Structure 1
C-alpha cells in the first residue's frame, strides 16, 4: 500500500472533504447505487457491513432472468441467450476469485452462509479421541458460535471441553496476533480446527489470516475462516495463505441483496481429495448429472460441494453486484477505504472527549481493520444512536453500548463522513 495513503494528512473542514471527493477516482460508482432517502435527502448510509445498498443494475439482471423464464420456461436451463441456468454457478467464479484471492476452481457461489459453514465442517472437522477441539475468537458472530456448538455436540463431544475461545487481554478490545499463535501452540496436541472470522464483526479487527493459518497447520489442525465481514471489504489471499476453507455471505459488502447467495472457498489441495461430505446432485459430475445414476462422483474443486441447482434470481442479483466490483477493483477500493476510515478516525479523535465518553475500539492500524469503526459510547449510547437515526444517519447499534459505522468506498463519500461527525458532535456536546 502506498505510503501516502497510510500516512495521509487530514483537515477538519467541509471544503477539505469536498476536495477529496472531487479528486476521488471512484466517485462515479456512487451513482451506480440506490441511496435511501429521508425527508427527500440522501441518508448517510453507514451499514454496508450489515446490508449493502442495491446496485441500479440489479433490476436489469433479475428482469432478464424473469424474461427468460417467461418466454423459455424450462428451456432457460440450456437456451437462455445470455446466461444459461445450468451453468450459472460458473459466471461468478472469476470475480469471486479476484475478491478472495483464489483460483476460479477454488470458489463457488451457493446456499447461505451458515449452511456453508456446516457443509465445510462436515468435511473438515474430523475429530478423534485425542484431537477434537475447535478454536474460535470469543464473541464470534452467532453464525459461527451456534454452528460450532452443534457440530461439537453432533460428534458426541462435550461443548465446554471441545471449545477453545480466545479473548482479548484485560482492558483491551481486540486480539493480539501473538496471543492467538500462542494459544494454538498451547493446544497443538488436541486442536482439530481453527475457525476465525476474517474481520471480527463487533470490533472490526482484521485478523492476520496468513499467520493464523500457518500456525494452525504447524499444530496439525485444519484452518478455516468466516469471511462475512471480510469479503469485499479487505484484500484477501486465500490461495497463497494456504487457507483450507472459507465461507462468506454476499449481502454485506458484496451488495447482492438481503439473504443473498453465499460462497465457499476450498483450497485446491483438497479439491479432489476423498473427503467426507454431504453430497447433492448439483455437485455431481456435470457430464453425467442428468443420467440419474447411483453413486456420487463429485465435480473437481469447490464445485463438488454444491447441493442443489442454483437459485437463479438471487444469483442474478449477485452477478449484478460483482460486475461493479470487477470494474472498480479491490486495490482501488482498499485505497479509498483506508482514506475514508482514516478521515473519520481523525475527525472523531478531534472531539477530545476522553475514553470515558467515546472510544474507538477498532484497531488504529489501517492494516488491521477494514472500513468499519466501532464506537464505544459510555453514556447515553442508545439515545445518541436514535438521534443519529432521526438525523438521517443509518448506522448499527450493538448491545450494550457500541455504534458500528462503516464508510463503504463504493458509495460513501468524504462529505458523508464529515457530515456524520458534525451530527455526532452536536448530539454529544
Structure 2
C-alpha cells in the first residue's frame, strides 16, 4: 500500500539531514519595490459591507512607497517562512514591515542568536536529525510509545555558536506520534506551509549581530526581545541576567546603531528597568511585554500599575491583542478595554501582538484560543481581521502591531497613511 503522506514526511526529514546551510545574508540592498501579495485583498473581499471595507477597497491599487513602523514583523513572516531566518526577515521587509524582530537567546559559549525560545531547537531546526548535536540536547528524543507522545528538548545553551550556525531552520512544528527523529520534523499546522522549507531547502539561522547588520542594510528599525532564560542564572555560575541584558545593547552600540531605531523588549520588568537605568538612550524605547493580563488578577494588577510604571520610566507596553479590546454591551461594537484606557491616561504607548498567529478565524478554537478571546463574538470570518486592526489603530491608538504576515498590517497602514 502506498503512503504518500509518510513518504513526503520522510523525504522532507532526509533533506533536512543532508541540506547544508546557505551563506548568511549579512547585508542586502534596501527594498523599494514593496509588495502585499494576494492575502490582504482576499481579506478585504471577505469583509462584510461597511465604510471600512469601502475604504480598504479604495486602496487596492495604491502603491506602498515606504515601509511602515506600524507594521512590525513577528519572528519574520512565520505564517509561511521558517521563523527567525534570513528568508523570513527578507519576506517581511518586502511586505512593508518597518520594524523587524529578533528574539534573543544565548548559546553555550554565551553568544547571542535569534530564536523565539531558548529551548525550541527541536521544533524549529533539524537538530534532532544530526546525531552528534542531538546527543547534546537537554532532553534527547524519545519516540511515541504506549499512548505517550514523542518528546525532546533542545536549547541554544546546549550547543556552541558554530554548532548553532550549522543548523537549518524549519517551520515551528513537531509530530507527537513520531517514532523517529526524522518523523518528528513534521506536524506543520494546516494553515501554514512547508513551501518555503521544502526538501533541499535550508532556512538560514542568524546571530544577533548578523540580524543587526542585515536589518541596518535594509534601512529598517529593530526590535530585539531578550528571551527569559530556561536555564538557571547565573549561567555557568557567572553569566548574570544583567550581563545578558547588557550584551544585547552592546551589540547595537558596537554596530553604531542610533538608539532611536531600537525597540528592546522583555517580559521581565527587571530587564526594562535595567535598560532605563543603565542605557537610558535605549531604555526610552524599551517595550515591556505584559503577560500579566493572562489572568484576571494579573489584568487588574496591570491596570492599577499604569501610573507607577510610567513614573519608573516605562513608556511602552505590549500586551496580547485581547487585553486591548472589549465589546460594548450596548452598541455591540469593538471598543478599547479598561487596560487600554488606563495606559492612555498614564501616557503610555501601546503595541499589540500577534496578528494572524491563531489560524483561520472561521474556527471557534482560533477565536477563543487567546488573541481574540475578548472579541470572539465579532470575529467570525477571515475578513474580520481588519475589524480588529482598525479597532486597534483608530480606537485604541496602538503605535504598531506585530504580525505573522506583515503584509496584512502594511496594507492597512498604507491605506490610512500610517
TM-score (norm 1): 0.27
| Greater RCO (Cα-Cα under 8 Å, separation 6 or more) | 1
- Structure 1 or 2, whichever has the larger Rg, is 1
